[in-house]
Amino acid sequence: MYAYVTLVTNADYAMGALALARSLKNAGCSAPLLVMATPQSGNLDSLQEAGATIIEVEQPPFSDGFRQRHQRGRVHSAAPFTKGEKPSFHDPLDNFCKLRLWELDQYRRLVFIDADAIVLKNTDRLFGYPQFSAAPNVYQTLGDFGRLNSGVFVAEPGKAAFEAMVKALDRPDAFWPRTDQTFLQHWFPDWHGLPYLDNVLQYVFFNLPELWLWKDIRILHYQYEKPWQDDHPRRDQLQPLIDLWWRIYEGGLPPDDLPTPYGKPNR
């Protein structure tokens, strides 16, 4: 049995997950959507009405020392985000809730998609990839193809795997500068690469226009700033992508073409 899964930790990401749910339906994806939701997520009736199944989760049982090392202020000062801005509702500790999906062992394989992403084309083929498959963290330079981005990945659940992960995660003095992303690359050093088109990071739009192949993009991931932010600091650069997200959130379909004005795609 297969399913898509996402994570909601507050009302902001609940908005994102609703757009994701609607985009999966638009793209004709056949597997159901599971929403792992923490107690701070608020009212999720709209997600259930969109066909999502809600699964209540909490942060893994971290030690006090681990929690202190991974507080928002400490994480952002030790490993500052110099290329973009994380919104104020971002809590680094919440990122580790992604690991809870390995407890869902009633499923043979899961495709995780961050709640700040939308699906533009059918992605059911991802269930044919093995654990652990993820797309590269490419948005600044082509040299980043060696780093994974945990916004989209393929996993095979197992409770024993989850317990082993938490034990390895919270060892004495452990610090994961990019939280779950750093840990997962450590845990799966021989990770399988998905095509970058399965997780196109929004900065590709202006940093790497030669990779912005609109008709081939399957998942668009709004890393850093979120399209629903009132105080969006990159609105001038990303307005077309912000408008796209709202179009999907409000029940519309993606346009036939969405070119980048920052350069001509190399086709």
Average pLDDT, stretch 90-99?
88
Reported pTM: 0.92
Domain 2-249 belongs to what topology?
Spore Coat Polysaccharide Biosynthesis Protein SpsA; Chain A (3.90.550)
CB 164 within 8 A of CB 195: no
CA dihedral 152, 185, 148, 6 (to 10 degrees): 10
Q: pLDDT tens, 123-165?
A: 999 999 999 999 999 999 888 888 999 999 999 999 999 999 9
- How does pLDDT run across 199-231, given as a tens digit for each residue? 999 999 999 999 999 999 999 999 999 999 999
Give the up-direction half-sphere exposure of residue 217: CA atoms within 13 A in the CB hemisphere.
28
218/118 Cα distance (integer angstroms)? 9
Neighbours of 125 (CB within 10 A): 11
Domain ranges of the chain: 2-249
